[in-house]
């Protein structure tokens, strides 16, 4: 398959759709700057695109879509930009898109630090969509992997001090179950838009065996055909999990 060609979904192998996709939605600011617009315009377009990609993932049969919305490091941005982002969560996170697509909404991250309207909108949206079944859309809000792992370790020490946890109780399963993502499967595919080749403190534990896909397209321009391209690239990979290629082919 020519990776440059435009792809429609019919060219994808429907039996090999990544069940869990994580996205680092990067490039909103540069998208706006290129057009002489304020960065906030990029974030607004970015939100529009979340709707587009969420619907398409649900349609394709993805089960978990985990989108990086605001990292713990993003508090370091100018106050006005942080406020814009928080306002967008409060105003633009709507139940409708999730209800229409039978999608359950969840969050990961420490939402306690969010301004009350944003926090309340997140909680309400989660409550209203909790019985939807087709896909789970997860937003990472005030999230970072190091924060999450630090918290898990601290919680484990508290349990151990209370006599409820022994060293031999701690295994990979225990750790996975004590991370924010304990309701979902690890990403099969991690996509980062916007051209940077880094993971920016996202899902470090969970991406241990994910396939990575980086593209230069800014997030507001990453539309259905770009998603198809990413999935097509994923479908060309052989996931070996430490085995030899021959072992994998023979099943």
Taking the chain, what is the end-to-end CA distance rounded to the nearest angstrom?
24
Determine the residue with CB nearest Mg ion: 26
Q: Is residue 145 part of the contact set for ligand IPE (CB under 6 A)?
A: no
Q: Which does 109 bind (CB under 5 to 8 A by kind): ligand IPE, Mg ion, none?
A: none
Q: What is the rounded CA–CA span in Å between residue 93 and residue 114?
A: 14
Q: What is the rounded CA–CA span in Å between residue 179 and residue 109?
A: 10
Nearer residue to ligand IPE within complex by CB, 71 or 136: 71
The rounded Cα 53 to chain-centroid distance in angstroms is 11
Q: Is residue 23 part of the contact set for Mg ion (CB under 5 A)?
A: no
Query: Angle at Cα 173 formed by Cα 167 and Cα 177, nearest 5°?
Result: 100
Nearest CA to 148 among 181, 103, 189, 187? 181
Determine the residue with CB nearest ligand IPE: 29
Single residue of 49, 54, 69, 129 touching ligand IPE by CB under 6 A: 69
Element of type H or E holding 70 = strand 64-71
Q: Is residue 92 part of the contact set for ligand IPE (CB under 6 A)?
A: no
Residues 21-60, one symbol each (x = binds ligand IPE by CB under 6 A, - = not), give ---xxxxxxx------------------------------
Distances (CA, A) of 153 to 9, 158, 170: 42, 9, 10
* Minimal distance, residue 190 CB to ligand IPE, in Å: 12
In the chain, what are the helix, strand and coil shares in percent, each to the nearest 5? 50, 15, 35
Q: Give the interface segment with Mg ion, choosing from 20-28, 50-58, 180-188, 200-208 (CB under 5 A).
A: 20-28
Q: Let me know if 15 is a catalytic residue.
A: no
Residue among 28, 74, 76, 171 flagged as catalytic: 74
Q: Let me know if 131 is a catalytic residue.
A: no
Positions annotated as catalytic residues are: 26, 74
Contact positions vs ligand IPE (CB under 6 A) = 24-30, 68-71, 73-74, 85, 194, 196, 198, 200
């Amino acid at each position: 398959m020519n990776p440059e060609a435009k792809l429609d979904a019919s060219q994808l192998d429907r039996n090999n759709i990544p069940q869990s996709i994580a996205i680092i939605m990067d490039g909103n600011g540069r998208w706006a700057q290129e057009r002489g617009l304020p960065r906030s315009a990029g974030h607004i377009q970015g939100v529009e695109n979340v709707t587009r990609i969420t619907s398409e993932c649900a349609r394709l049969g993805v089960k978990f879509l985990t989108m990086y919305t605001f990292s713990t490091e993003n508090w370091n941005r100018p106050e006005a930009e942080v406020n814009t982002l928080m306002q967008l969560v409060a105003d633009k996170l709507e139940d409708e898109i999730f209800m229409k697509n039978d999608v359950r909404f969840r969050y990961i991250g420490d939402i306690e630090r969010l301004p009350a309207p944003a926090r309340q909108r997140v909680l309400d949206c989660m409550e209203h969509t909790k019985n939807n079944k087709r896909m789970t859309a997860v937003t990472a809000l005030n999230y970072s992997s190091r924060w999450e792992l630090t918290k898990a370790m601290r919680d484990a020490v508290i349990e151990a001090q209370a006599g409820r946890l022994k060293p031999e109780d701690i295994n990979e399963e225990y750790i996975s179950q004590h991370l924010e993502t304990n309701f979902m499967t690890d990403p099969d595919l991690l996509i980062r838009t916007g051209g940077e080749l880094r993971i920016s403190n996202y899902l470090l534990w969970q991406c241990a065996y994910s396939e990575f896909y980086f593209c230069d397209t800014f997030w507001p321009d990453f539309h259905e055909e770009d998603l198809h391209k990413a999935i097509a690239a994923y479908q060309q990979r052989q996931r070996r999990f430490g085995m030899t290629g021959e072992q994998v082919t023979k099943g």
